[in-house]
Structure 1
Amino acid sequence: MKLAIVGGGSTYTPELIDGFARLRDVLPLEEVVLVDPDEERLALVGGISQRMLAHAGHPARLTTTTELVAGVTDADAVLVQLRVGGQDARHADETWPHEADCIGQETTGPGGFAKALRTVPVVLRIAEAVRRHAKPDAWIVDFTNPVGIVTRALLQEGHRAVGLCNVAIGFQRRFARILDVAPDQVQLGHVGLNHLTWERSVTVAGRDELPGLIEGRLGELAGDVHLAPELVSGLGALPSYYLRYFYAHDEVLREQRTEPTRAEAVRAIERELLALYADESQVEKPAALEGRGGAFYSEAAIELLAAIHGGEAERAVPRVVNLRNDGVLPFLPDDHVIEVPARYREGRFVAESVAALPDDFTGLISSVAGYERLALDAAVHGGRGRVLRAMRAHPLVRDHDRAERLTDLLLAENARFLEWAA
């Protein structure tokens, strides 16, 4: 199997390589190609990745290239993990919304919208190269945020694509430790949109353990997602950390105005990592990589690719992915992208059924989904009017004057990335 990683110069790539080395029996790889326009980072990340595979005795050949077509040619799968504008753009996404009293975040709210506008056209161009040059049945696995919007853009253009996020696998691993069972024994009732999800059940051997966990470990679970215990108890479900931007917006905004941005923290971590990657004696994943974020991403990616290219045992296990709704959540259009457990069957992912959701869940999902559809329209077709309409539709914005202000701020910060705004 040949795997191309677009955005392979990311400092996070060695986490993937470490997973490939540890889980070689789950996903046999013959060739890995790192594709990235940044020659300097590609050389450093490619160097340590080659050393890691050799040190682990993994037989896969690892190469690097700055040429997209060369990288994806004859690939069996293409993993997309890129950040248009780098950490500088992320820092902007995390700060300029504050001028209009909104949270700054790279996937949620106005900052997440800016990231979608920058990202969707780039990913669609990558996908066209994959369509033309990869194997005819090659899958695109998108880990690029905002995953839901990017995945819908790919599916809308007819690409064989699925979206991947590490939130669900992080919860699975957390619950497995609490319950003292193997992770593959834990099945999650995970539902919502990317970065807007709830765990409604935690099933082990046919028994839902979540009610007992909420009753017995309420403070611990609420603390993990930085939300009030009474909120978690009242929901009867465990929200992802990203729900904090909705349930505690003003508190988060106050914190953000006084604390360094995540982009600033990541910049410092990346400087340390790149220095380590340059050390030719470094043949294992550095401990400092744990601070980079994306915990369990390698396991999630490997499990997903194994479901596609592996045998029946791998395909029998439901995995949380981003895919077309197709009636699973009846209050959303069929072509909207949702995040739920699914199984790989006959060349496609098929979502598990989902029990009816309470009205507060459906209301928030519907509202954010409406924004996402307008955001994708703006990302594909451009135009200030489309940006303003999507901005105004976001439930964290609503107010027209605030939406006007945020639209002006977004365009001022991102015009250089938007072909239609040049």
Structure 2
Amino acid sequence: MKKSPFILAIAGGGSTYTPGIVKSLMVRLADFPLAEIRLYDIDSQRQQIIAPVVEKVIRDHSDSIKFTVTSDAEVAFSQANFVFAQMRVGQYKMREQDEKIPLRHGVVGQETCGPGGLAYGLRTILPMVELIDLVERYADNNAWIVNYSNPAAIVAEGVRRLRPQARVLNICDMPVAAMRNIAAILGVDRHQVTVDYFGLNHFGWFTHLYVDGVDRLAEVREHVARFGLLTEDAAATDPQHADPSWVKTWRNIKPIMDHFPDFLPNPYLQYYLMPNQIVEHQDPDYTRANEVMDGREKKLFAAAAEYQQTGILPDAFHVGVHGAFIVDVACSLAFDLRQRHLVIVENRGAIANLPYDAMVEVPAYITAQGPEPVRMGNVPQFHRALLEQQLASEQLLVEATMEGSYEKALQAFTLNRTVPTMQHAKAILDEMIAANQDYWPALKQAFKDGQPQS
């Protein structure tokens, strides 16, 4: 039976990830046919630089797919069947602040974890809600938004609170990147690995790693004890996750498993379980944001300029798990494939001893009606306590956004495991308020110096 082609909009079309996502779509046209791809970005100048590269990728595979580049929401979303969302509010100049402000106070500086992730969340929740409203106004009634926007856990919680009926599936490629490395270690294809996993986004653990029905966690555990979550020659990592900072991240799984060997941790747990060591090895003047701007960003923009001048597109972007995963998920949504993927969903008993309404990351079968989570049962007390603390921090941050509450923002920062004291939390929060004045909702103090504010 012939599949009807879809209209797809990519919100955040100016992202340097866009060409890789589109290349992933092009090699899967038989599985996910497309009538039109629309790039949408409020930064039209940046999008216009990326767009010719994207069009070249499309035309190398198809002459029939319509290609539209716009900053008009109605043009972008009218009758769209799918929207891929990958917004970065404040772009890399604000990511740099997210990372460097905490480091000035001796606290982890990271894009999605710790104070940086909380700051990024305060910038992103309300724009994500605005995007949902635009899609619901203009798109097909059955359209799905597949959201890649970080920080995924906070964005997902904000959407749950503010737009509970929205057809949004929140995903993250970090567990899938880990599965790619696991598969390389085991000498199999990533799609041959079936995992059990529980947690929140960027805060979880693999409990079983099945290949052909056999759990091979013990084998991977033994490998991690020697090399971290890398192949022996580190050749399996794709360029997206192979910069020096990423190699260090994959290797830092080893000390975590040395102490807590039962499960394989998400690599981002290093920021929460060993923050002192992380800070000691971070350069406060040159963070991951600078590494990306001087690496992937510069390389792709240079390639775009060369293509404009010569008509030849250099090999400047990589098609890795980031693009492949979002296409896998979209195919399963579109055609009710019931494929099993790790996604972010409302708990509803999937992790039995976490709150029913928590936004958790677990395996789920992706159907045309959305995800059907796999029940992971009760999790051990140690892991549950860590999850509850992180969940409370994220939920307080969402409430701070909704209520414009300085106190709840301060509570969120104080409760985060990367922040050692309330004094650190206040100093970082106050500096971040000044840096984010063009992006954050206003945070009002109900009390100042212990006295009610009038």
Contact 1:149 1:372 in 2 (8 A): yes
Q: Which residue of 2 is the match for residue 235 of structure 1?
A: 261
State the distance in 2 between where 1:228 and 1:129 align: 41
Cα deviations across residues 253-295 of structure 1 (Å, max 9, x unaligned)?
Answer: 01113662111122123123112113145666x54434xxx94
- What amino acid does structure 1 have at the position aligned with 2:93? D
Equivalent residue in structure 2 for 1:190, among 189, 197, 202: 197
Equivalent residue in structure 2 for 1:107, among 107, 112, 129: 112
Contact 2:85 2:145 in 1 (8 A): yes
Partner SS for 2:209 = strand
Partner SS for 1:95 = helix
Contact 2:182 2:229 in 1 (8 A): no
Are 2:402 and 1:383 equivalent residues in the alignment?
A: no
Are 2:383 and 1:361 equivalent residues in the alignment?
A: yes
The structural deviation recorded for 1:355 is: 4.0
Q: How does 1:372-411 map to 2 (within 5 A)?
A: 372-397=394-419, 399-411=421-433
Cα deviations across residues 320-353 of structure 1 (Å, max 9, x unaligned)?
Answer: 1111111112232222111111012461211111
State the distance in 2 between where 1:58 and 1:154 align: 37
Partner SS for 1:339 = strand
| TM-score where L is the length of structure 2 | 0.86
State the distance in 2 between where 1:44 and 1:100 align: 37
Q: How does 1:5-404 map to 2 (within 5 A)?
A: 5-57=10-62, 59-156=64-161, 157=163, 158-222=165-229, 225-227=250-252, 229=254, 231-233=256-258, 234-257=260-283, 260-269=286-295, 270-278=297-305, 279-280=307-308, 281=310, 286-290=314-318, 295-311=320-336, 314-315=337-338, 317-345=339-367, 347-397=369-419, 399-404=421-426
Contact 2:9 2:80 in 1 (8 A): yes
Partner SS for 2:69 = strand
State the distance in 2 between where 1:360 and 1:368 align: 13
- What amino acid does structure 2 have at the position aligned with 1:10? S
Percent of aligned positions with the same letter in both sequences? 27
State the distance in 2 between where 1:159 and 1:399 align: 37
Question: Unmatched 5+ residue regions in structure 2?
Answer: 1-5, 231-246, 445-454
Contact 2:26 2:58 in 1 (8 A): yes
Q: Which residue of 1 is the match for residue 240 of structure 2?
A: none
Contact 1:3 1:31 in 2 (8 A): yes
Contact 1:9 1:45 in 2 (8 A): yes
State the distance in 1 between where 2:182 and 2:439 align: 41
Aligned length: 415
Cα deviations across residues 216-235 of structure 1 (Å, max 9, x unaligned)?
Answer: 55222356623263531432
The structural deviation recorded for 1:56 is: 2.0
Q: How large is the Cα RMSD of the aligned pairs?
A: 2.0
Q: Which residue of 1 is the match for residue 450 of structure 2?
A: none
More displaced 10-residue stretch of structure 1: 51-60 or 129-138: 51-60
**Where is the helix percentage greater, Structure 1 or Structure 2?**
1
The structural deviation recorded for 1:399 is: 2.1
- What amino acid does structure 2 have at the position aligned with 1:274? F
Contact 1:415 1:421 in 2 (8 A): no
State the distance in 1 between where 2:253 and 2:67 align: 46
Partner SS for 2:362 = strand
The structural deviation recorded for 1:410 is: 1.5
- What amino acid does structure 2 have at the position aligned with 1:264? N
Partner SS for 1:362 = helix
State the distance in 2 between where 1:47 and 1:227 align: 39
Partner SS for 2:437 = helix
